[in-house]
Amino acid sequence: MSSVNTGLQNVDPVVSDIISRENIRQNNVLEMIPSENYASTAVIEAIGSVLTNKYAEGYPGARYYQGNGIVDEAEDLARDRAKALFNYAHANVQPHSGTQANMAVYLGLLKPGDTVMGMQLDAGGHLTHGHPVNASGKLYNFVSYGVDRESEIIDYDAMLEIAKLHRPKLLVVGATAYPRKIDFARAREIADEVDATLMADMAHISGLIAGGAHPTPSGFAHIVTSSTHKTLRGPRGGMILCDQDYARRVDRGVFPGSQGGPMMNIIAGKAVMLSEANTDQFKTYAHETVSNANILATTLEDGGLRLVSGGTETHLVLVDVTPMGLTGKVAAEALEVAGIVTNYNTIPFDSNPPTVGSGVRMGTPAITSRGMGSNEMKQIGELILRVFENYDDSQILSSIRIDVEKLCSEFAAPGVEK
Ligand code: DSN
């Protein structure tokens, strides 16, 4: 037997060093980007497995390559677990991301130029919901809806009016920077009124839905798309669920429509995540994520920040930092110096461009995965306020960073080596 060390550190010390430093960073910062989380050690083991070596174009039982009997079991398991967890007749677990999932649905259901309705980016929508710089906005005739100027909550009456005017073939609901629940029942009524298919992009809230902390789209949305690494805590990837009537078109939209070989290692990781998300422990996690966001929001509001929509019902808080004389970008950069990682974001009707933004988007999925609770949320809210008050004082930011690192040292980050 050869005794040569073929581990990463020996084969490629440069990449090994990058990974070790990222490991340290993930341990030592408060990760508060609402779309990030910690995949479990079991998920990481599955995605780091030899399943990465297998080509499996097609679907279980109908592949274009030999030797797929074993990986078929992984994909069938992931599909069955996804169907059971979200209560849909069909699942496709091959999309490489939430964006790929959305594009595959469009390809499977629409022709170029067809009319689709989606939420505006500055109201909290996603690039793939028809933004002009994105393929969705270039290939399809997207018309948009947004939020009410006063309440900053989705204006469903206006959504109905816009739908009646443009008669979209597909109505897309779901958001990336929207702190309120989505009313899937109301959206379905609007879709029915104009004979549209309803697609719910639940990427941000899929973990909350799995854990019963947000109403389900099942029974309302004909098709649901999601990424798998946000509140769901799985590997980086996407998936689609749908009623049986849409199964063939959705599958063809993924393969051969927009993807080649699926990543079987990632699909195995999705199967593990879907089993983890179907537990009482995960239900508790989902509810704690939402209650933690509420405590954080209240602390920030009490400290003088304006909360978009006046609060939160989900895992995320969108704060308008302009009352403190800051832009989103300046505020998010100061937070990072202090070890609190968020992202700057536009707010509804923003006068700043997306490259600057008037808001900071922050979320509780990752810090809740570390086991932090109400006391820590109050403490973190106060640290954030101190950062904003002292955004240009590097000494104070460094002292806050020491408090952040102490807090992080008390709560292990799942799946991240100590
Ligand atoms: N889904 C986006 C986010 O919320 O971060 C990225 O595409």
On whether residue 253 sits in a domain, the answer given is yes
Tokens representing residue 38 in the block: 């910690």
Same domain, 311 and 254: no
Residue 418 has pLDDT above 90, yes or no: no
- DSSP code string of 121-184: GGGT--GGGT-TTSHHHHHSEEEEE-B-TTT-SB-HHHHHHHHHHH--SEEEE--SS--S---H
Which among 97, 178, 204, 205 is the best mutation to test ligand 1's pocket, defined by most ligand atoms within 8 Å of the CB? 204
Q: Are residues 112 and 219 in the same domain?
A: yes
| Eight-state DSSP code of residue 416 | S
The confidence band for 3, taking pLDDT boundaries of 50, 70 and 90, is low
Residues 202, 334, single domain; the answer is no
Q: How does 385-407 read in b/e, with b if 16+ C-beta sit within 10 Å?
A: bbbbebbeeeebbeebbebbeeb
Tell which of 220, 255, 277 closes a domain: 277
Same domain, 99 and 236: yes
**Does residue 5 fall inside a structural domain?**
no
- 322 and 255 assigned to the same domain: no
176 lines ligand 1 (CB under 6 A): yes
Per-residue pLDDT tens for 94-115? 999 999 999 999 999 999 999 9
Do 395 and 328 share a structural domain?
A: yes
Can you give the pLDDT at residue 2? 54
Q: Is residue 13 part of a domain?
A: no
Rounded distance from Cα 69 to ligand 1 centre (Å): 35
Letter for the amino acid at 301?
E
In this structure, are 262 and 396 located in the same domain?
no
Q: What is the pLDDT of residues 228-269, one digit of tens each?
A: 999 999 999 999 999 999 999 999 999 999 999 999 999 999
CA-nearest residue, atom 1 of ligand 1:
176
Asked if the model's pLDDT at residue 341 lies above 60, the reply is: yes
| 181 in the same domain as 61 | yes
Ligand 1 atom 4 nearest Cα = 176
What is the per-residue pLDDT for 4?
74
Burial class (CB in 10 A: 0-12, 13-18, 19+), 57: middle
The per-residue pLDDT for 122 is: 85
Are 154 and 273 in the same domain?
yes
The verdict on 398 and 371 lying in the same domain is yes
203 lines ligand 1 (CB under 6 A): yes
Do the domain assignments include residue 16? no
Cβ 228 under 6 angstroms from ligand 1: no
* For residue 5, pLDDT beyond 90: no
Whether 35 lines ligand 1, by a CB cut-off of 6 Å, is yes
Domain boundary among the residues 238, 261, 277 is at 277
End residue of a domain, out of 240, 258, 277: 277
Q: What is the mean pLDDT of the chain?
A: 97
> Residues of the chain with pLDDT > 90: what percent?
97
Q: Is the pLDDT of residue 47 over 70?
A: yes
- Residue 290: count other Cβ atoms within 10 Å of its Cβ: 23
Whether 188 and 315 map to the same domain: the answer is no
**Rounded mean pLDDT, 43-72:** 97
Query: Domains in the chain: how many in total?
Result: 2
Write out the residue range of the structural domain in which residue 54 sits.
45-277
> Model confidence over 291-320: pLDDT tens digits?
999 999 999 999 999 999 999 999 999 999
Tell me the CATH number at 321.
3.90.1150.10
Is the full-model pTM beyond 0.85?
A: yes
Tell me, what CATH number does 258's domain have?
Answer: 3.40.640.10
Mutate to test the pocket of ligand 1, among 176, 227, 236 (most ligand atoms within 8 A of CB): 176
